[in-house]
Amino acid sequence: MNRRSDIVIEEVMPAVDNGNFPAKASEGSILTVTARIYRSGSSRIRARVASKHSSDRKWEYAPLEPLGNDLWAGKISIRKKGNYSFKIQSWDDDFGTWREGILKWAAAGEDVKQDQIAGVQMLKTYLRNTKGNLRTKLSQIIRSIETASSSSLKDILTDSDNIETVYLCQSHHGLVSSRTFKVLSERKEASFSAWYELFPRSQGQPGSGPGTFADVERRIPDIKEMGFDVIYLTPIHPIGKTNRRGKDGSPRAKKTDPGSPWAIGSELGGHKDIDPSLGTVEDFLHLVEEARKNGLEIALDIAIQCSPDHPYVKEHPEWFYRRPDGSIRYAENPPKKYYDIYPLKFEGPHKKALYEEMKSIFLTWAERGVRIFRVDNPHTKPFEFWEWLIGEVRKIYPDCIFLAEAFTRPSVMYRLSKIGFSSSYTYFTWRNYDFEIKDYFTEISSDPLRAHFRPMLFPNTPDILPPVLQTGGRAAFKMRAILAATLSPLWGIYSGFELCENEAIEGKEEYLNSEKYEIKKRDWFAPGNIRKFISVLNRIRKESSALMEIGNLEFHTTNNPNIIFYTRKSIKTGETLMIAVNINPFETHQATVEVPLEKVGICNDLPYRVTDLLTGATYTWQGEKNYVRLIPDERPAHILRIGD
Amino acid sequence: MNRRSDIVIEEVMPAVDNGNFPAKASEGSILTVTARIYRSGSSRIRARVASKHSSDRKWEYAPLEPLGNDLWAGKISIRKKGNYSFKIQSWDDDFGTWREGILKWAAAGEDVKQDQIAGVQMLKTYLRNTKGNLRTKLSQIIRSIETASSSSLKDILTDSDNIETVYLCQSHHGLVSSRTFKVLSERKEASFSAWYELFPRSQGQPGSGPGTFADVERRIPDIKEMGFDVIYLTPIHPIGKTNRRGKDGSPRAKKTDPGSPWAIGSELGGHKDIDPSLGTVEDFLHLVEEARKNGLEIALDIAIQCSPDHPYVKEHPEWFYRRPDGSIRYAENPPKKYYDIYPLKFEGPHKKALYEEMKSIFLTWAERGVRIFRVDNPHTKPFEFWEWLIGEVRKIYPDCIFLAEAFTRPSVMYRLSKIGFSSSYTYFTWRNYDFEIKDYFTEISSDPLRAHFRPMLFPNTPDILPPVLQTGGRAAFKMRAILAATLSPLWGIYSGFELCENEAIEGKEEYLNSEKYEIKKRDWFAPGNIRKFISVLNRIRKESSALMEIGNLEFHTTNNPNIIFYTRKSIKTGETLMIAVNINPFETHQATVEVPLEKVGICNDLPYRVTDLLTGATYTWQGEKNYVRLIPDERPAHILRIGD
């Protein structure tokens, strides 16, 4: 029977489904790893985390420190993009066990001669694998212990240089390793960015025709000024004519109706082609480049479905579902049928060819400079398909980011994240009351979800104009923007939000005169807009490491359900923001909020200054309970940093 | 590419460390299994649990039902002792998907001819593997669908006999299986029993010498009357003389001091031998048999450690730790040494022989009829040792029960449970305030712990006389007994508890004149005893299926922290008890307690009767909030069943 330690390593974090899927991290970030580590008996142990990037040859080690109750923690530096591995290792600390014992015996006045000899014997085994300078130093320590009196022993064994030297030489008796866990490191934008969604055809200037890529280019300074990082375009492909939908989705279109951009494909082309009214491939490349020069990035919406006029229908009829009479099956959700869309058939003998073609769509756009894809309804295609496709695309373009638009059940959303999507839409639009917001964001900001799930918060989308925005006016738009911008590092708006557009179809959460079915022209600087407010939010985000990190959100008590109070604390810098929001856009509210003093680093009852990053105003707070008064529109929130 | 479903099976429960260790169950119980099961898209799925005992050849199947949010649940009947396996299986429900769609299309007035044909084609594939009567019935159903009008379709497809027939014939397209999970089924006493701990030498009668096994026999009717199931004896082996401890553990014993039963071994023998002053092996066998005849069982305390006089010290000096001067190391916990005890060395080249000898100790007592072992300080021996030993003993005696007395850190206690201990001591004695009791018992009654951790609650032990018992008198003894007897199916007392003995060493939680170091004689029927109260508690436990099950505890709100209110609901019978306890033994308290109406099956605001099982008194309650007034000693708690 070999000498093998009784050490147990459990509950390693971050881990997704026990390590079967990668956790996610951001290039340039620090990843905290924790594990429950213990052994039988009372001997001491030590532990470390071994990590490496797939391109590295050697493991890199960082110590784990005990936090109490057998929980240990350490940090991994995520310096590059790509795939990291890590494992937790622990071994018997025979030196530490011996040192603790002999110091206690000595302090209790016991005779320690025998322990002294035993310690010297143990330390001599460390010499075996120790060379050079370290060996000399260790030998000196051993000699000094050998000859030490009970009182001088204490000096030798509490000297931090000596302790460090011994640990550098320590044999790893009975080293136990956890399984290897995976981490997917993506570039910063995958976990921290602000998005602006627009319909390119609606960017035309007053008096001229429908918008083109050139018009989108003209809007870049405007979007940049608001502080956004990503311009996300609704689909830009040719739109089908057969069964085209008209105004507000009516089943029969007028001749002049432009159709929904999601009814993709016509005789002019399919998913790799551009609607000629928007411009050419060259125009598109120019837009991508112009955005890049301005520090912005173009994201595309990829919707895997076909209009009845899509070239695939003729070229690959085998990729569609057929009814017994040979007709192609429309997209359906009984008792509804979508006559302008055919779903693709991700099963059967032609699956492989379809998979390859779908991959080629993503690669085509990646070749044209697009590195961010917002994927429409990924949950209606197989998980296996996405896992394969995302892996394939990342092999060639490791900087590709995939956002899942899966408005479906939580388990399905979380699965898409596990299998490779960088980020995901959330239920944010349907979380309005304090308990709803707290429950939901606590769930997705906590283990196990925070290890992989990156929430993207849109207060509106072309499909969703929630009741609070319909009725709460400008104040509601500001309030929901604050929540979206500070509850997650990923947020975005669908254009028109900055103008507080809020006309809905009665009794529904859909826009009236939906932009999905018609071309708009807007005055982007119309009175009452909240452009400036949005730009302040985005500036605050870029200046705060706390707002850039995921999984660092914690809610705290207030005595008024209309006011929520939460903190975000940076793992990297320790910066902590305290945020109080009046979630009722109709009324001024006041509350006592409870500051988590220890967490924010205020340890006594002296007054402290807090600065509101929204306004620059400073306040003097004291102790745990502090008063806030928040006025819709005017001062809907405090985003507080401690200090002036 | 084969047809393989996109179904995902996750979060299978009960599972211990993802299935690496067995969950626990009780012979004759019903085990609820749950899993998160889902797939991409909107097709329907079905699921089942397959289970089998290791002695069975075939898997047995039980359906899983959806609970919402992709969570499914089903039940396994645990009929035998031993090792069970189970796995979750799920497959595409093409019939259900089709049925749901066509019914909706028909209801919406759509033409369903094509869907009808598609359904018939699908059902014909089910005929392939269907024979006999079922085939005839399925053929009839297919024919009726083939020729049905839109309106008669509804009758055919909502007929429960038809639906049942189709599902009996359904092909399991794309069947997906989870990994196999393990369940250890033990006899009922492993998870439900009441224990009475005694020192055999203290059972002697007034006027005669120290107690013997015959004296223990004489106490059986008395212990039975109190309703206990297990008589647990402190160690019965010869006690060492070298460095024997005296009164209250003093390092120097007087000649007349009997020594601690845990300082095991002398020239009279070791762990397989009996202290001759207690009796012979024959006397012991007689005691075991006498207990059995009375429906009681004898449990032994096994403490793996040796007095310096233990035969092992001479016969196997290699099993002990040596200091550099060759002397044997005492048990130590710096800066304390226990000079009456040597620890054994569970490592090194002689480990295997030591393991085998330890196993032979358990087998020796099992051969003598003992099937319950309370193991002293298992956490100071390797996990690997216990996993091996318990497995080996159970191979020969599958009905052996092992209780771990590991007062150590939670992770270590839980590990001992995972690797095979049937049950474990807990922190119960140190949980006194409402929040302490709620937090701790919610933790151990919830996933993942409730899958394997069986908590044994002792309000006192020879080592622990907690402050509340020292100061709270009879009322405190009753209150702690109620908690112990109703917070877990496993509870016990150390004898003297029924007499409310409460003399402590000042400032410590230890008994004054500790029975560990001296022989006692007591009047077991002394005035002020709570024997009757204990017998009522144990009777209530035996009449309530809710109190027999593990992991069914839930706390509810009260408006007074001195009164806690909890329910226990039986999975097997649905029986629910509501228990309110005044945890302050010094004062009468009243509170409004909040009844979980839905859970207890009260669905409206009509009055309902509740009966207190402690007193037989009935009360009329109404709605959620009800009033209780609890008087220490006199009426410290309500244990309520709904109804008269």
Task: Give the per-residue pLDDT at B296.
Answer: 98
Q: Which pair of structure tokens corresponds to residue B311?
A: 């035969």
Task: Give the per-residue pLDDT at A5.
Answer: 76
Each residue's pLDDT tens digit, A467-500? 999 999 999 999 999 999 999 999 999 999 999 9
pLDDT band for position A538 (cuts 50, 70, 90): very high
CB contact under 8 A, A8 and B415: yes
Rounded Cα distance, A566 and A555, in Å: 4
A106 neighbors A194 (Cβ within 8 angstroms): no
CB contact under 8 A, B335 and A100: no
Annotated catalytic residues of B are: 376, 405
Provide, as residue numbers in chain A, all residues whose Cβ is less than 8 Å from the Cβ of B410: 69-70
- Comparing CB atoms, the residue among B101, B117, B335 nearest residue A110 is B335
Search chain B and give the residue with CA nearest A349: B1
**Mean pLDDT, residues A584-594 taken together:** 98
Provide, as residue numbers in chain A, all residues whose Cβ is less than 8 Å from the Cβ of B383: 6, 8, 39-40
Residue numbers of chain B with a pLDDT score lower than 70: 1-4
**Mean pLDDT, residues A397-409 taken together:** 97
Helix (H) and strand (E) counts for chain B? Answer: 16, 28
Indicate whether B503 belongs to any domain.
Answer: no
Task: Give the per-residue pLDDT at B599.
Answer: 87
A52 and A182 in one domain?
yes
Task: Give the per-residue pLDDT at A4.
Answer: 59
B123 and B39 in one domain?
no
Q: What type of residue sits at position A451?
A: A
**Per-residue buried b or exposed e for A181-200, using 16+ beta carbons within 10 Å of the residue's own CB:** bbbbbbbebbbbbbbbbbbb
A406 neighbors B32 (Cβ within 8 angstroms): no
A182 and A103 in one domain?
no
Provide, as residue numbers in chain A, all residues whose Cβ is less than 8 Å from the Cβ of B332: 101
Task: Give the per-residue pLDDT at B303.
Answer: 98
Search chain A and give the residue with CA nearest B325: A114
Distance from CA of A129 to the nearest CA of B (A): 22
Indicate whether A270 belongs to any domain.
Answer: no
Provide, as residue numbers in chain A, all residues whose Cβ is less than 8 Å from the Cβ of B351: 1
What count of Cα atoms within 13 Å lies in the side-chain half-sphere of residue B520? 17
Domain boundary among the residues A134, A169, A204 is at A169
Provide, as residue numbers in chain B, all residues whose Cβ is less than 8 Å from the Cβ of A339: none
Please name the residues in contact with B475: beta carbons below 8 A apart, sequence gap of 6 or more: B585, B586, B632, B633, B636
DSSP string covering A166-208, please? HHHH---TT-EEPPPEEEEEE-GGGTSEEEEEE-GGG-PPTTS
Search chain B and give the residue with CA nearest A120: B324
B42 and B137 in one domain?
no
Strand order in the sheet with A29-38: A8-13, A29-38, A71-78, A65-68
CB contact under 8 A, A70 and B327: no
Contacts 24+ apart (CB under 8 A), A59-68: A64/A33, A64/A35, A64/A37, A64/A88, A64/A90, A67/A34
Share of chain A above pLDDT 70, in %: 99
- Comparing CB atoms, the residue among A38, A384, A409 nearest residue B6 is A384
User: Residue A160 belongs to a domain with what CATH number?
Assistant: 1.20.58
What is the pairing mode between strands B423-425 and B455-457? Answer: parallel
Indicate whether B4 belongs to any domain.
Answer: yes
B164 and B64 in one domain?
no
Distance from CA of B329 to the nearest CA of A (A): 10
Each residue's pLDDT tens digit, A135-187? 999 999 999 999 998 889 999 999 999 999 999 999 888 899 999 999 999 99
Q: Is pLDDT above 90 for A599?
A: no
The helix, strand and coil proportions of chain A, stated in percent and rounded to the nearest 5, come to 35, 25, 40
Rounded Cα distance, A376 and A388, in Å: 17
User: Which of B16, B40, B70 to mutate to probe the A interface, most A CBs <10 Å?
Assistant: B40
Task: Give the per-residue pLDDT at B1.
Answer: 30
B153 and B105 in one domain?
yes
Task: Give the per-residue pLDDT at B571.
Answer: 87
Number of domains in chain A: 3
A181 and A55 in one domain?
yes
CB contact under 8 A, B40 and A383: yes
Provide, as residue numbers in chain A, all residues whose Cβ is less than 8 Å from the Cβ of B10: 17, 411
Indicate whether B373 belongs to any domain.
Answer: no
B593 neighbors B638 (Cβ within 8 angstroms): no
CB contact under 8 A, B411 and A36: yes
B66, with CB counted inside 10 A (0-12, 13-18, 19+), is middle
Domain boundary among the residues B169, B200, B226 is at B169
DSSP string covering A22-79, please? -EEEETTEEEEEEEEEE-SSS--EEEEEEEEETT-SS-EEEE-EEEETTEEEEEEEE-
Among candidates B434, B509, B528, which has minimal Cα distance to B471? Answer: B509
Q: Which pair of structure tokens corresponds to residue A199?
A: 């319909």
Task: Give the per-residue pLDDT at B542.
Answer: 98
- Comparing CB atoms, the residue among B18, B70, B105 nearest residue A409 is B70
Indicate whether A526 belongs to any domain.
Answer: no
Rounded Cα distance, A517 and A513, in Å: 8
CB contact under 8 A, B8 and A70: no
Among candidates A302, A289, A298, which has minimal Cα distance to A223? Answer: A298
A3 and A83 in one domain?
yes
B169, with CB counted inside 10 A (0-12, 13-18, 19+), is buried
Q: What type of residue sits at position A199?
A: F
CB contact under 8 A, A409 and B69: yes
Task: Give the per-residue pLDDT at B4.
Answer: 59
Rounded Cα distance, A595 and A557, in Å: 8
B233 neighbors B192 (Cβ within 8 angstroms): no
Any idea of the CA torsion for A75, A79, A85, A88, to the nearest 10 degrees? -20
Tell me the C-alpha to C-alpha distance, in Å, between residue A18 and each of A326, A418, B11, B561: 46, 12, 11, 39
Q: Which pair of structure tokens corresponds to residue B468?
A: 């509340």
Q: Which pair of structure tokens corresponds to residue A85?
A: 């591995």
- Comparing CB atoms, the residue among A4, A332, A412 nearest residue B40 is A412
Any idea of the CA torsion for A629, A635, A638, A639, to the nearest 10 degrees? 180
A82 and A4 in one domain?
yes
B163 and B105 in one domain?
yes
Distance from CA of B35 to the nearest CA of A (A): 12
B65 and B181 in one domain?
yes
A634 is annotated as an active-site residue: no
Rounded Cα distance, A379 and A382, in Å: 7
Each residue's pLDDT tens digit, A236-290? 999 999 999 999 999 989 999 999 999 999 999 999 999 999 999 999 999 999 9
Residue span of the structural domain in which B633 resides:
553-642
Provide, as residue numbers in chain B, all residues whose Cβ is less than 8 Å from the Cβ of A323: 114-115, 117-118
Search chain A and give the residue with CA nearest B6: A382
Distance from CA of B109 to the nearest CA of A (A): 9
C-alpha angle B346-B301-B452 in degrees, rounded to nearest 5: 75
Distance from CA of A144 to the nearest CA of B (A): 18
B534 neighbors B477 (Cβ within 8 angstroms): no
Provide, as residue numbers in chain B, all residues whose Cβ is less than 8 Å from the Cβ of A349: 1
Largest CA distance in chain B: 102
CB contact under 8 A, A6 and B383: yes
Rounded Cα distance, A47 and A74, in Å: 9
The helix, strand and coil proportions of chain B, stated in percent and rounded to the nearest 5, come to 35, 25, 40
Each residue's pLDDT tens digit, B96-123? 999 999 999 999 988 999 999 999 999 9
Distance from CA of B191 to the nearest CA of A (A): 25
Rounded Cα distance, B398 and B321, in Å: 34
CB contact under 8 A, B411 and A384: no
What does the mean pLDDT of chain A come to?
Answer: 96
DSSP state letter for B259: -
Rounded Cα distance, A585 and B465, in Å: 58
A with B: how many residue pairs have Cβ under 8 Å apart? 123
Among candidates A534, A540, A535, which has minimal Cα distance to A611? Answer: A540
Domain boundary among the residues B169, B196, B226 is at B169
Kindly report whether the peptide bond that precedes residue B335 is cis, defined as omega within 30 degrees of 0: yes
B72 neighbors B37 (Cβ within 8 angstroms): yes
Distance from CA of A348 to the nearest CA of B (A): 7
Among candidates B17, B552, B537, which has minimal Cα distance to A8? Answer: B17
Handedness of CA A142, A144, A146, A150 (dihedral sign): negative
3-state secondary structure of B428: helix
B369 neighbors B288 (Cβ within 8 angstroms): yes
Q: Work out the end-to-end distance of chain A between its first and last CA atoms, rounded to an integer number of angstroms.
A: 64
User: Residue B621 belongs to a domain with what CATH number?
Assistant: 2.60.40.1180
User: Which of B113, B387, B389, B411 to mutate to probe the A interface, most A CBs <10 Å?
Assistant: B411
Search chain A and give the residue with CA nearest B106: A335
Indicate whether A566 belongs to any domain.
Answer: yes
Each residue's pLDDT tens digit, B40-70? 999 999 999 999 999 999 999 999 999 999 9
* Catalytic member of A275, A405, A501, A515: A405
B131 and B107 in one domain?
yes
Rounded Cα distance, B642 and B644, in Å: 7
A563 neighbors A207 (Cβ within 8 angstroms): no
Any idea of the CA torsion for B76, B78, B79, B82, to the nearest 10 degrees? 140
Handedness of CA B238, B241, B242, B247 (dihedral sign): positive
Search chain A and give the residue with CA nearest B345: A41
Strand order in the sheet with B563-569: B553-556, B563-569, B576-582, B637-642, B607-612, B618-622
* pTM of the predicted model as reported, rounded to 2 decimal places: 0.93
Provide, as residue numbers in chain B, all residues whose Cβ is less than 8 Å from the Cβ of A69: 409-411
Provide, as residue numbers in chain B, all residues whose Cβ is less than 8 Å from the Cβ of A415: 8, 38
Task: Give the per-residue pLDDT at B173.
Answer: 81
Indicate whether A413 belongs to any domain.
Answer: no
Indicate whether B75 belongs to any domain.
Answer: yes
User: Residue B73 belongs to a domain with what CATH number?
Assistant: 2.60.40.10
